[in-house]
């Protein structure tokens, strides 16, 4: 085979299949890099904390109805804990029988705001250890009703967050802060 024939054969280039495979590999690598660097705009710690709070609130509400006992949530600047009302003692105490409702700490950098009946609640720096001071800001009644509240969980430096509140039907829902005021 002469040199010009070899050049003509090599000059044909890549097939369409080879180009598609290379583009698919580049796409997969790019997606992996974006997810690993968290450049997608989502904060996994914030999302997890918000979903956990909503799930625990729904669970505590179900427990209140099943046990015919009022449950409450005591928020502080670093997290929250669940409380149960004792009619016999006429006081709130920590929910200790169910480990699912154990006290929770927020991941570092997250900020919590609680509004009850349209008023912002001043949150203590840490959890209340004195049982007589254990007064929940949000109450989940044994009847299935709940107090009027809005809980905002956000990361202040990014302005990313979630608004957690009951909807018109009484279901506890979460919305991204940018979507919270849309109809």
Domain ranges of the chain: 3-37, 44-179
pLDDT tens per residue, range 98-144: 899 999 999 999 999 999 999 999 988 766 656 556 789 999 999 99
Cα gap 132→91, rounded to integer Å: 7
- Buried b / exposed e over 3-25, threshold 16 CB at 10 Å, is eeeeeeeeeeeeeeeeeeeeeee
The mean per-residue pLDDT over the stretch 151-158 comes to 89
Q: Domain spanning 44-179 has what CATH number?
A: 3.55.40.10
Higher per-residue confidence, 64 vs 43 = 64
pLDDT tens per residue, range 67-88: 999 999 999 999 999 999 999 9
User: Taking the complete model, does pTM exceed 0.85, yes or no?
Assistant: no
Q: For residue 34, what pLDDT band results from cuts at 50, 70 and 90?
A: low
Question: Residue 33: how many CB atoms within 10 A of its CB?
Answer: 10
**pLDDT at res. 57:** 95
Q: For residue 182, what pLDDT band results from cuts at 50, 70 and 90?
A: very low
Q: For residue 43, what pLDDT band results from cuts at 50, 70 and 90?
A: confident
- Backbone φ and ψ for 111, nearest 5 degrees, come out as -120, 140
Report whether pLDDT(95) > 80. Answer: yes
Report whether pLDDT(8) > 80. Answer: no
């Amino acid at each position: 085979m002469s040199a010009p024939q070899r050049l003509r054969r090599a000059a044909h280039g890549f097939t369409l299949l080879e180009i598609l495979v290379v583009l698919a590999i580049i796409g997969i690598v790019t997606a992996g890099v974006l997810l690993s660097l968290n450049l997608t705009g989502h904060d996994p710690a914030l999302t997890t904390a918000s979903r956990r709070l909503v799930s625990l609130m729904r669970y505590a509400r179900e427990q209140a109805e099943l046990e015919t006992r009022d449950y409450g949530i005591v928020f502080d600047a670093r997290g929250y804990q669940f409380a149960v009302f004792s009619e016999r003692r006429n006081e709130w105490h920590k929910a200790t029988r169910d480990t699912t409702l154990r006290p929770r700490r927020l991941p570092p950098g997250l900020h919590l705001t609680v509004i009850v009946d349209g008023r912002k609640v001043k949150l203590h720096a840490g959890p209340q250890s004195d049982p007589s001071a254990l007064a929940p800001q949000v109450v989940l009644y044994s009847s299935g009703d709940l107090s009027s509240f809005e809980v905002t969980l956000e990361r202040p430096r990014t302005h990313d967050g979630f608004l957690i509140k009951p909807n018109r039907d009484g279901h506890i829902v979460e919305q991204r802060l940018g979507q919270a005021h849309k109809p």
